[in-house]
Amino acid sequence: MDTPETAARPAAPHQLGGADAFTGPVPGIDDAERFHEGWEARVFALYRALTDRRLFTTDQHRDAVERIDAGQYHEITYFERWLAAIERVVVERGLITAEELDAAQQRRFAGHDDDHPAPPHLAEYAPQDLTAPDTVDPLPVGTRVRLVDGLGRHHRLPDWARGRSGTIHAVRGLFELPDLIVAEASEGRRYPLYAVAIPARAAFPDAHPADVVYLDAYHPYLRQEA
Partner 1 sequence: MHTHDAPAVRRQWLTDRVGAVEDALAARDLVDPAAIDDIIDLYRDRLGPQRGAALVARAWTDPGFRARLLRDATEVLTEFGYDGRGTTNSALPFLRLVVVENTADVHNLVVCTLCSCYPLALLGPPPRWYKSAEYRDRAVRRPREVLREFGTEIPDDVQVRVWDSTADCRYLVLPQRPPGTQGRTAEELAALVTPNSLIGTER
Sites for partner 1 among residues 8-27 (CB under 8 A): 14-27
Among 60, 64, 67, 83, interactor with partner 1 by CB under 8 A: 83
- If one asks whether residue 138 binds partner 1 (CB under 8 A), the answer comes out as no
Residue 216 touching partner 1 (CB under 8 A): yes
Longest dimension (CA), the chain: 67
Q: How far is the CB of 20 from partner 1 (least distance, A)?
A: 7
CA distance 159 to 124: 23
What's the CA gap between 23 and 38, in Å, rounded?
A: 30
Contact status: 168 vs partner 1 (CB under 8 A): no
Task: Give whichever of 36 and 121 is closer to partner 1, judged by the CB atom.
Answer: 36
Q: Packing angle between helix 58-66 and helix 38-52, nearest 10 degrees?
A: 130
| Distance in Å, CB of 113 to partner 1, minimum | 6
Give the residue from 190, 99, 200 showing the smallest Cα distance to 136.
Answer: 190
For partner 1, the closer CB: 129 or 206: 206
Alpha-carbon distance 36 to 224, whole Å? Answer: 46
The nearest distance, CB 54 to partner 1, in angstroms, is 10
Which residues, 140 to 159, sit near partner 1 by CB under 8 A?
Answer: 156-158
Q: Does position 65 bind partner 1 by CB under 8 A?
A: yes
Pairing of strands 212-218, 190-199: antiparallel
CB 155 within 8 A of CB 181: no
Q: Is 87 among the residues that bind partner 1 (CB under 8 A)?
A: yes
- Segment contacting partner 1 by CB under 8 A, of 1-9, 29-37, 123-131, 134-142: 29-37
| Distance separating alpha carbons of residues 45 and 29, to the nearest angstrom | 24
